[in-house]
Amino acid sequence: MRRRSWSWAAALLLLTALPAWAEGSSLPYGGGGPIRANEIIARYNQSGELFRIEGSCQSSCTMLLAIRNVCVEPSARLRFHAALFPNEIGQKPPPQRQARMLASYKPKLRDYLVRNGYVDTFEFHDISGADIIGKFGYRRCP
- The residue extents of the domains of the chain are 24-134
User: Percentage of residues in the chain with pLDDT exceeding 70?
Assistant: 80
Query: Per-residue confidence at 114, pLDDT binned at 50, 70, 90?
Result: very high
pTM of the model: 0.80
Q: In this model, does residue 89 exceed pLDDT 90?
A: no
66 in helix, strand or coil? Answer: helix
Question: In the prediction, which pLDDT does 11 show?
Answer: 39
What average pLDDT does this structure show over 38-43? 96
Task: Give how far the C-alpha of residue 115 lies from the chain's centroid of Cα atoms, to the nearest Å.
Answer: 21
Mean pLDDT of the chain: 85
pLDDT tens column, 5-15 = 444 444 333 33
Task: Give how far the C-alpha of residue 42 lies from the chain's centroid of Cα atoms, to the nearest Å.
Answer: 14
- Beta bridge mates, 140: 72
